[in-house]
Structure formats: C-alpha cells, structure tokens
C-alpha cells in the first residue's frame, strides 16, 4: 500500500498539486476497500468511521482533483451515480449489480472487434473505451427470484 501511496504522491506533485492529508485518506480508503467501485458517499462513510474531520464536499472536491490528475477513474452507475476506483489496475471492465451496486472486474475485452467495425463503417476514430455491463450479482438475483416466486 505504501508504494501505491508514494506513486500517487509523486503523480500529484508532478502535476502541481499538494499531497494533502485528505487526499491521502481517500487514496488509502480506495486501496483498502473490499468494494471495487466506491461512490463518494461510500468514501465519506469510511472517512467518518475512521474519525477524520473531513466533510462530504471536501471528499467530493478531492475526488474531482484525483480524477483530473488521472489517479482515479469514474464509472457512472445506471442510476447516474458516480463511482470511483484507483487507476492502478490493468485493463479491465466492470459487471455492475443494479440492486446492490457492487462491481466485479472482468478481464475479457471485445474492443478490437468493435474498433474494427467502427473504423470500417464510420468516420469516427476511437481513442479510449470502457465497458460496463449491468445486471444482478448472484446474491441479488437469488433474492429477486425468491421474492418473485413468493408472489
């Protein structure tokens, strides 16, 4: 964890930003989280659990700064809520549960086929992509199926 924090500190400084206590706490939370993607509210709840005097707007502003610096990535959940992850993982995409909002990484990427199709059939030149697939995790699917069968 210390190595990643050091890398984040260097990256912020190289872009003219200070490595504040608040930014360190947010990075530590993202590094130690069991959740792959965390909303600003989840991060704020973790900040409160750790008894740090940081308000929600400070968490949100710092997330925007970390995003601007490229240290984190943002994924929009289907309901429009932004979730964040550290930008340290290798290339991957997400399976996102519509019920509990948990996210799972998938390492399969169909981008090459999509890119060939786009270049052949359009005048568009893609430079970046992300794929988010929405559905229900195993636990939520079981609960939904059980609830429906009881009706």
Task: Answer yes or no: is 112 a known binding residue.
Answer: yes
Closest CA to 103 of 68, 67, 78: 78
Task: Answer yes or no: is 42 a known binding residue.
Answer: no
Task: Answer yes or no: is 129 a known binding residue.
Answer: yes
At 66, list the tokens.
């970390």
Rg of the chain's alpha carbons, rounded to an integer?
18
At 102, list the tokens.
């948990």
Task: Answer yes or no: is 140 a known binding residue.
Answer: yes
Task: Answer yes or no: is 138 a known binding residue.
Answer: no
At 145, list the tokens.
């199926």
At 37, list the tokens.
């993607």
At 69, list the tokens.
């610096």
Task: Answer yes or no: is 8 a known binding residue.
Answer: no
How remote is the C-alpha of 60 from its chain's centroid?
A: 14
Can you say which residues are annotated as belonging to the binding site for Fe cation?
91, 112, 129
Can you say which residues are annotated as belonging to the binding site for Zn(2+)?
97, 100, 137, 140
Can you say which residues are annotated as belonging to the binding site?
91, 97, 100, 112, 129, 137, 140
């Amino acid at each position: 964890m210390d190595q990643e924090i050091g890398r984040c500190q260097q990256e912020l400084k190289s872009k003219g930003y200070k490595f504040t206590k608040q930014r360190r706490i947010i990075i530590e939370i993202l590094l130690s989280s069991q959740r792959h993607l965390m909303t600003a509210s989840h991060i704020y709840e973790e900040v409160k659990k750790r008894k740090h005097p940081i308000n929600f707007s400070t968490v949100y502003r710092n997330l925007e700064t970390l995003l601007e610096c490229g240290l984190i990535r943002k994924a929009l959940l289907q309901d429009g809520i932004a979730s964040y992850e550290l930008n340290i993982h290798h290339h991957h995409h997400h399976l996102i549960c519509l019920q509990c909002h948990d996210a799972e990484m998938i390492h399969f990427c169909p981008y090459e086929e999509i890119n060939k199709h786009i270049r052949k059939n359009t005048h568009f030149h893609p430079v970046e992509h992300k794929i988010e697939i929405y559905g229900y995790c195993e636990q939520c699917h079981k609960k939904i199926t059980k609830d429906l069968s009881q009706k």
